Amino acid sequence: MNRAHDEEFHRYVAARGPALLRAAMQLTGDRGEAEDLLQAALVKTYLAWERINDRGSVDGYVRRAMVNTQISWWRRRKLEVYPTDVLPDRPVDDHTRRSEMHDALGRALDRLPRRQRVAVMLRYYEDMPEAEIAEVLGVSIGTVKSTVSRAVAKLRDDTALEHDFAEVHAIDTDS
């Protein structure tokens, strides 16, 4: 690959790496595995970089590479759980609580007005800087800041979200 493509790829990884790592975390549930998965997907993307004509679709390419790689890893793994009469010392994390909290937060975000929801999603889920969000939404940076601030305040005051989180916490402490 030529030097210009190398630099373009490095800029892409620097800009989108954190958001892609969060996507990998959603696939694996483990930070170390997520980093390995993202690295494998970025290697595939780097090798195909010159063939990717639409630079706007690179995130989709990387995410698809992560999904395909994760599926391949699942298929290759041997059974690593062996029945035993002895219980492990530490409890097993069933991910139920995290899933219920994620669902509750999703419902709370759905209750926000569209512009606030989009601003929060771009800021915190996609980890975009305020200037980039302003450009995407076609508004000023100050508008982005105030929109995100109002959205976060609404989420803090959302009694339904507070109730959902309290229920999840109660379920977690009961077990």
Instruction: Express each pLDDT in 34-82 by its tens digit.
Output: 999 999 999 999 998 888 888 888 988 999 999 989 888 777 665 555 6
The separation between CA 106 and the C-alpha centre of its own chain, rounded to angstroms, equals: 13
Contacting residues for 145 by C-beta, under 8 A, at least 6 apart: 130
d(CA 144, CA 132): 10
Render pLDDT for 83-133 as a digit per residue (tens, 0 to 9): 667 766 665 555 666 677 777 778 888 888 989 988 988 888 788 889 988
Distance (Å, whole) CA 160 – CA 166: 10
Q: For the chain, how long is the longest CA-to-CA vector?
A: 63
* Per-residue confidence (pLDDT) for residue 19, from 0 to 100: 92
Residue 146 reports pLDDT greater than 80: yes
**Token digits for 115?**
């512009």
Residues 6+ apart with CB under 8 A from 1: 9, 46, 49, 50
Q: What is residue 113's DSSP assignment? A: -
Please give the domain boundaries of the chain with CATH numbers for all domains.
Answer: 3-76 (1.10.1740.10), 96-174 (1.10.10.10)
Look at residue 171 and tell me whether its pLDDT is greater than 60: no
Q: Which two tokens stand for residue 33?
A: 């595995």
Angle at the Cα of 63 from the Cα atoms of 59 and 69, rounded to 5 degrees: 145
What's the DSSP call for residue 43?
H
d(CA 60, CA 57): 5
pTM, two decimal places: 0.47
- Tokens matching residue 159: 């009694």
- Residue 142: pLDDT band (50, 70, 90) is very high
Q: What is the DSSP letter of 138?
A: T
